[in-house]
Amino acid sequence: MNNFILQLNDDLAANVEHARRSLVEIRNGHGGAGAGIIVRSDGLIITNAHVIGRRGLRATLPDGQTLPARLIAYDREHDLAALAVDATNLPAIELGDSKNLQPGQWVMSVGHPWGVAGAVTAGIVIGSGAEFPEFNTGGREFIVASLHMRPGHSGGPMLNSEGKLIGVNTMINGPDVGMAIPVHVLKAFLKELGDVQAARQPQHAESMMV
């Protein structure tokens, strides 16, 4: 049993370390900071809409390099934003599956709480979807987990036990409840972004408001 626990511990730590290679810090030019996730090796980064500002966006990559970031699109309703930096061969995170999450499954959230770079918190899934009588979700879908997120986790990855992205950290609800945007919502946002990228600048889309 001890060997099993040690192996599980080592596997979880390795999976988190692998995912942290895709974690960035976002600064919005107004003194605010949050996290972001590299989702494409050509410099596409996802974060929360509430993290971004309209000017002065900068992204610090896992290697410590800080680059100006361009706002591509954002969706206030789902609290998602897409940024781009001029870089190539970046380590993109692997997207997982959020539609089949079950209560009790182990999850981990990574970010920069209170400025602590790449900090990790862990817990279990409470539930997922849009129906949470105790929370006012406004009909939006969330992953709700019993973990200890703090300011600075916003925009960072929520991972499953395999280290795959299953959600984007977005808010806390009480001291030990964290909420994330499910990765299937993110995938829809990315698809819509691809559908409208013929326009070379941020513009309106049905759920992508700039």
Instruction: For residue 109, indicate whether it is catalytic.
Output: no
Q: Which two tokens stand for residue 119?
A: 């900090």
79 is known as an active-site residue: yes
Catalytic residue among 78, 79, 128, 184: 79
Alpha-carbon torsion (6, 167, 140, 135), positive or negative: positive
In the residue annotation, 154 being an active-site residue is answered as yes
Q: What is the C-alpha separation between 61 and 152, in angstroms, rounded?
A: 15
Tell me which residue of 113, 189, 191 sits closest to 147, measured CA to CA: 113
Which residue in 50, 146, 148, 207 is the catalytic one? 50
Active-site option among 75, 98, 154, 184? 154
| Cβ burial, residue 48 (10 Å; 0-12/13-18/19+) | buried
Q: Which residues are catalytic?
A: 50, 79, 154
